[in-house]
Amino acid sequence: MTSTVEELNPGLKGLGTYKYGWSDSDAAGLSARRGLNEEVVRNISGLKNEPQWMLDLRLKGLKLFRKKPMPTWGSDLTGIDFENIKYFAAGRLGGTLIVARAFMSVPGHMFFGAIWGYALGQKLVRKRTSVLLYFLFAAFCHGAFDTVLSIDGLQLLAMVIDGLLAILFVVLLRRALRHGAVTAGKDEAVPSAQRWLFTMGSAGLTVAYTIMISLVAIALFGIGIYYEVEHHRVGMSFVGISATMLLLIGLAANGLSQSIPLDAAVDVEGVTFAGATRKWARIAGIERVPAWNIFGPRGSVKLRSQDGDVLIGPGDPTTVERLIVSLNAAMKPKA
């Protein structure tokens, strides 16, 4: 007569089922069979959706295990009956969680770092900025993101958090890069009332590229769920589909980087765009550069400078024209 673990250890009965407890499902253990053999290894490898090379490596390890004698040093292991033990896959990272972490953790952590970096940058131009508050907010977002990403059924909520952080990232990026030049010896930047802003980029394209990235990521997420539920082995078809989707995400991300609305800041010190500043005394001339996108003609402005040229744009033709007029007016006294 075979006794269950609970019968042999009465204290374990009900463990994890009390009011504040938890327990893993025993479905995998109940379906497992005793014995350490090739069939068991193949079954566990299939449940984990492992590639063929990993299964081959495990089978090779099984053959090696059978050839090697049990260690004679240390504790006595002669009483272990490997054929009377159940082997099963449990407590593993599923394909869903792996895909979710692979494609959401990278941008998520970039956004966490951006919050912290924004605070440090603000401290340079506004001494009263509380870096600690920004740090605590970033830590809270990080904890919330990791929590929902690790719980089955909540991975989509992690994507929502990613989206909200992306919006916050654009807002902080615009605020950080619209500051004009900070002259050495001054505690504050040029007051905003004495700074003129010309918005480049395209809010419509930014939204379109963001939606495209989100849809492709959701599709890739869905494929990961399908492969896990159907217990399909990862093969060339999965790799090909994933690679194609990654290419689409990369193209959309490149377009997003070109379309994020950023401000060209013009003040008494010079011109600042995307973190690059050129002082008036170092600007040799300006040049209009034509550009296009799916919405029609656009334009950019190239600042020719002794410190290196800076391309401002692309932006709406009307905004580009206003910027050129402003630059010409500011440079005229220097001529």
Give 228's pLDDT tier (boundaries 50, 70, 90).
Answer: low
> How far apart are alpha carbons 277 and 254 in whole angstroms?
23
Closest CA to 271 of 286, 291, 288, 256: 286
Give 240's pLDDT tier (boundaries 50, 70, 90).
Answer: confident
CB count within 10 Å of CB 96 equals 19
> How far apart are alpha carbons 223 and 201 in whole angstroms?
33
- What average pLDDT does the segment 91-118 reach? 67
Q: Hey, what CATH class is 263-334 in?
A: mainly beta
Q: Are 298 and 292 in contact (CB under 8 A)?
A: yes
Give the model confidence (pLDDT) of 251-303 as tens digits.
888 888 788 888 888 888 888 887 788 888 888 888 998 877 776 788 899 99
Cα angle 198, 204, 208; round to 5: 140
Is the confidence at residue 18, as pLDDT, over 70? no
Handedness of CA 100, 103, 104, 105 (dihedral sign): positive
CB count within 10 Å of CB 229 equals 11
List all residues 6 or more positions away from 77 whose beta carbon is below 8 Å from its beta carbon: 70, 71
Range name among 4-18, 152-166, 305-319, 320-334 with the lowest pLDDT average:
4-18
Give the model confidence (pLDDT) of 26-47 as tens digits.
444 555 677 888 888 888 787 7
